[in-house]
Amino acid sequence: MQLNKKVLVFLISSTIFLAGCWDRVDIEERGFIVGTAIDLVNQEKENEYEVMMTNQFVIPSGIGTLMQGGGGQAFMNVSEKGTSVFRTNRKFSRINSQEPFYQHLKVLVVSEEVLIQPHLFSNMMDFFIRDHALRRSIRLLVAHEDAKEILNSTPENTDVPAMYLDDLMENVDRNTNTIKPIHIGEIQELILNQQSYVLPVVRKVGSMAEYGNVVVMDGESNQMVGSLNEDETSGLGFINGHTEGGVLEVQVDESPLAVEITKINQKMKITNTQKNNVEVEISILIDGNIAEYFGVESVLDEKFLEKAEASTEKKVKELTAKTIKKVQQELNTDVLGVSKNLYQFHYDFWQEVKEDWENGENYFSSADIKINSEVKIDRVGSADRIKMKEE
Amino acid sequence: MGRNFFRRRKLKQESAEGEDFSTEIGVDLEKNLQDLQTMIGSPEDLVIHRLNLGFNVKAAVAFISGLSNKEAIHNDLIKNLLRNREKEAGSDTPDELIKQLKLDLISIGSVEQTNSLDKLTIDLLSGKSVVYVEGTAEALLMGTEKWETRSIDEPISESLIRGPREGFVENLQTNMMLIRRHIRDPNLRFDTSEVGRRSKKKLVVCYVDGIVNPDMVKEVDRRLSSIDMDSAMESGYIEQWIEDSYLSPFPQMDNTERPDKVASAVLQGKVSILLDGSPFALIAPITIANAFKSPEDYYDRWLIGTFLRVIRYIGAFITMFLPALYIALVSYHQGMIPSQLAFSIAATREGVPFPAFVEALIMGLTMELLREAGARLPRTIGQTIGIVGGLVIGEAAVSAGIVSPIMVIVVALTAVASFTIPLYSVAISFRLLRFGFMFAAAVLGLYGIVLVYIMINIHIVNLKSMGVPYSTPFAPSFIKDWKDLVLRGPIPMMNERPRNLKPKDTTSGNLRR
């Protein structure tokens, strides 16, 4: 009995040596993928597409170490073609000795061509959501042209384009047409809810990339139905809070004035729930500072501030009106969040109309959306005026 | 297993020592002196001074020259014996005479009468002087011990920025004096016993009667009485004999050179064991929290004390986990490292020929080698070792591409963190356990680290020190003791003795008075 116990202990402890180490890959043998681009090559059959995946691998020695700066290129882009994302990814191992490692994947750039095909986008997303090694915080971008070109944008102050794109998306509170970055986790949610949504756009400008504006995705077919320009994106940002801040240029007594937005709050209220006459009231509360003023009035004057606030309110209404017109008349997709509000606060009514909200009877297009904007200017800057009135 | 071990030790204890000579003192002076010489092998330092007490009553004084106070023997013993020989030695029998000598003549503090040769020999060898008188089977033992000792110095192994600069020395009497000077309570007890078959060293159990839990003292006594060995060179021998588990990596007794630490421990209701010839006093029981306590925590203000303790807890975790975490993250969980850092680690590791575990093992062993080399060498050379090791080996290993610079940071941080733990013996066990964590991390990654951590926690929860659970007051929880655990509360608020020791007297002060 005593002997048996010893043997047992020996056997159990020897399992440590028998098993283990099975996932061990040292850090220098990993090929860190930081960015992936998906482009459409061609449509083979109905519902079968050949796509091109471009993975951006980091070259650590190019980035440099804690001790010394790097030299040479810090990244390499490798492309492969295939129909399934997973298999295509596996193909990378045929040309790259390092094991592809997705846990540091930062950005996914999808070309517009992929988005236009019905359901292709959600099929492509399946791998990125399903695979255990991938994080839900991967940020998604849309390129109007070739997505893989975006992964070549290298301003001189950065080493790795994907990291640069990732950092670029942090600057969302500077401009009204840059929306908060959207990540894979949210996309799964949106696809499952069959909700229409917008995706941020990136475009290549010289060696740099420019972040701004959105494309509109239809919830049901999961395909892109159109894109919004700068003004329309700004308006959308005010309506559903995608934007965190930015600058509005307005005219006060024919002198240009730039208002820096510090805070945006919005509230949506559905005042009438009749199928053909849904009334929506959106109040937008904006706090701002005077950032730049070309005129000669005293900005400390109460009346001037009232005028400035009124013209900013008007500007907000203009921008949002453009957006509403576009999504209601042209695109027929509810990216404003009205359906979400109905679902949350008028569930019974939503059950009645949900089939005909964006399609069929198209109640969304006939909805009456009113915007109330209220702007408050808190600060006027460090100086009252720079030039005197001309007598 | 441990229990059987103790039982075996106990059985051996009572075995007779074979000897040829009589163990009693006889009436014949010359025969007695000869017995004594035979017994200890007539060494050179044995001094026998024969003298005449008058009326032809012969006597002899014997002592070991290096261990006794010769001045006192001459002035207070021999002079008195010779001066009074005319007066006193009348028609008394030798038995009465020796009583007379003891009561009236000898002006030495401690005088004992004995007829046992065994006791006489041992006392002689511990520095007492013996007076034999012809015709009586009794001898007198005079407390004339005096030998060269080290002066009281600042304890080297536990130096503090603020606190008493006195440390224990090798002399038991001095050490007891040092404790008494901190506690002038009549209930302060020093229970003396002897240890070692051959060394017969004095061992003192120190506690405060009325505070300490009597069961604790009984348990300590029971364990001490089981000791059976030739000699205890150092209190470490005692510690290892009476500890609860000799398989545990954690010490179950505190050792200190600081009298103030012993004094505060016995005032809390603990027991301290002092051994003659050792400047290290043992304190029992201890818990894992003791590893992070330093007397200085109490000497500085509570905010500083708390801060230092928190630093030490962090230090302990760094010591145990950092190299293992490095291995786990670099070999398995690269996704958990922030991207920029991951790339830079990957860049530094490019060209390193070993996996992270071997790399960490090399550097860990190097660090231990340097530490050991520094500790063995004389202090002046020890510093050179630090410079040579730290700069040359570290720098050279990196430029040679054997290890990555990150590994050097990890090892250096681990080494520095391990030195923050005040209890040196615990610090060593932490460093030892670190290798276990590293191995687990190499085999199973973070999962392995978690498994080993659970194993160690199970062990700690099972471990006891003198019957007190090692994990108190965390678990079993004594919430009231928590004000002196990770946090160190303000002194006026610490008006209760640790509950986990179950002291007889629980309050040590009253805040509301």
Going by C-alpha positions, the residue among A173, A209, A193 that lies closest to residue A35 is A209
**Contact between residue B442 and residue B434 where contact means Cβ atoms under 8 Å apart:** no
* Residue B436 sits at the chain A interface (C-beta within 8 Å): no
SS (H, E, C) chain A: CHHHHHHHHHHHHHHHHHCCCCCCCCHHHEEEEEEEEEEEEEEEECCEEEEEEEEEEECHHHHECCCCECCCCCEEEEEEEECCHHHHHHHHHHCCCCEEECCCCCEEEEEHHHHHCCCHHHHHHHHHHHCCCCCCCCEEEEECCCHHHHCCCCCCCCCCHHHHHHHHCCCCCCCCCCCCCEEHHHHHHHHHHCCCEEEEEEEEECCEEEEEEEEEECCCCCCEEEEECHHHHHHHHHHHCCCCCEEEEEEECCEEEEEEEEEEEEEEEEEECCCCCCEEEEEEEEEEEEEEECCCCCCCCHHHHHHHHHHHHHHHHHHHHHHHHHHHHHHCCCCCCHHHHHHHHCHHHHHHHHHHCCCCCCHHHHCEEEEEEEEEEEECCCCCCCCCCCC
- Give the gap in angstroms from C-alpha B9 to the nearest C-alpha of chain A: 23
DSSP-assigned beta bridge partners for residue A45: A48
- Check whether residue B129 and residue B87 sit in a common domain: yes
* ipTM of predicted assembly, 2 dp: 0.86
Q: Is B500 part of a structural domain of the chain?
A: no
Between A16, A27, A104, which is nearest B349 by CB? Answer: A27
User: Between vectors from CA B122 to CA B118 and to CA B124, what angle results, nearest 5°?
Assistant: 115
- Check whether residue B251 and residue B135 sit in a common domain: no
The set of residues, in sequence order, having a beta carbon less than 8 Å from that of B13 and lying 6+ positions away, is B226, B228
- Check whether residue B58 and residue B118 sit in a common domain: yes
- Check whether residue B281 and residue B310 sit in a common domain: no
Q: Is B334 part of a structural domain of the chain?
A: yes
- Check whether residue B323 and residue B431 sit in a common domain: yes
Four-CA torsion A324, A328, A330, A334, nearest 10 degrees: 100
B435, B452, B469 — which closes off a domain? Answer: B469
Strand A197-205 with A139-143, pairing = parallel
Between B347, B355, B356, which is nearest A61 by CB? Answer: B347
Q: Is B112 part of a structural domain of the chain?
A: yes
Domain count, chain B: 3
- Check whether residue B311 and residue B448 sit in a common domain: yes
Q: Tell me whether residues B405 and A65 touch, CB distance under 8 A.
A: yes
Task: Name the residue with tokens 């054997």.
Answer: B402
Q: Tell me whether residues B348 and A163 touch, CB distance under 8 A.
A: no
Computed over every residue of chain A, the mean pLDDT equals: 87
CA atoms within 13 A on the CB side of A194: 8
pLDDT by residue, tens only, chain B of 513 residues: 444 544 444 444 444 444 445 577 888 888 888 888 888 888 888 888 888 877 678 888 999 988 888 888 888 888 887 776 665 545 567 777 788 778 877 777 788 888 888 888 888 888 888 988 888 888 888 888 888 888 898 988 888 888 899 999 999 989 999 999 999 999 999 999 999 888 889 999 999 999 999 999 999 999 999 999 998 999 999 999 999 999 999 999 999 999 999 999 999 999 999 999 999 999 989 999 998 999 989 999 999 999 999 999 999 999 999 999 999 999 999 989 999 889 988 888 888 888 899 999 998 998 888 888 888 888 777 777 777 777 778 888 888 888 888 888 999 899 899 989 988 889 999 999 999 999 999 988 999 999 999 999 999 999 999 999 999 889 899 988 898 899 998 988 888 899 888 998 888 876 554
B256, B286, B316 — which closes off a domain? Answer: B286
Q: Is B166 part of a structural domain of the chain?
A: no
Residue of B nearest to A21 (CA): B443
Task: Name the residue with tokens 């001094």.
Answer: B47
DSSP-assigned beta bridge partners for residue A37: A54, A109
What pLDDT, in 10s, does the model give residues B232-283? 999 999 999 999 999 999 999 999 999 999 999 999 999 999 999 999 999 9
Residue of B nearest to A75 (CA): B343
Q: How many whole angstroms separate alpha carbon A149 and alpha carbon A165?
A: 13
* Residue B277 sits at the chain A interface (C-beta within 8 Å): no
Q: Is B13 helix (H, G, I), strand (E, B) or coil?
A: coil
Strand B271-275 with B254-256, pairing = unpaired
- Check whether residue B212 and residue B340 sit in a common domain: no
Q: How many whole angstroms separate alpha carbon B350 and alpha carbon B293?
A: 43
CA distances in angstroms from A229 to A86, A150, A215, A327, listed in the order given: 34, 20, 9, 12
Chain A residues lying within 8 Å of B446, measured CB to CB: none
What pLDDT, in 10s, does the model give residues A322-350? 999 999 888 888 888 888 888 899 999 98
- Check whether residue B230 and residue B323 sit in a common domain: no
**Contact between residue A30 and residue B346 where contact means Cβ atoms under 8 Å apart:** yes
* Residue A66 sits at the chain B interface (C-beta within 8 Å): yes
- Check whether residue B326 and residue B461 sit in a common domain: yes
- Check whether residue B456 and residue B330 sit in a common domain: yes
**Contact between residue B107 and residue B78 where contact means Cβ atoms under 8 Å apart:** no
Q: Is B380 part of a structural domain of the chain?
A: yes
pLDDT at residue B158 in the model: 85
Chain B residues lying within 8 Å of A66, measured CB to CB: 344, 348, 405-406
- Quick check: bond before B473 cis, omega within 30? yes
- Check whether residue B98 and residue B183 sit in a common domain: no
Domain coverage including residue B320: 299-469
Q: Given 1.10.1040.50, 3.30.70.20, 3.30.300.210, 3.30.450.40, which CATH number is that of A236-391?
A: 3.30.300.210
- Give the gap in angstroms from C-alpha A25 to the nearest C-alpha of chain B: 5
Q: Write out the H or E segment, with its range, that includes residue B328.
A: helix B302-331
**Contact between residue B66 and residue B125 where contact means Cβ atoms under 8 Å apart:** no
- Check whether residue B186 and residue B91 sit in a common domain: no
The domain locations on chain A are 27-228, 236-391
Q: Is B141 helix (H, G, I), strand (E, B) or coil?
A: strand
pTM of the model: 0.84
Q: How many whole angstroms separate alpha carbon A1 and alpha carbon A5?
A: 6
Residue B351 CB coordination number (10 Å): 11
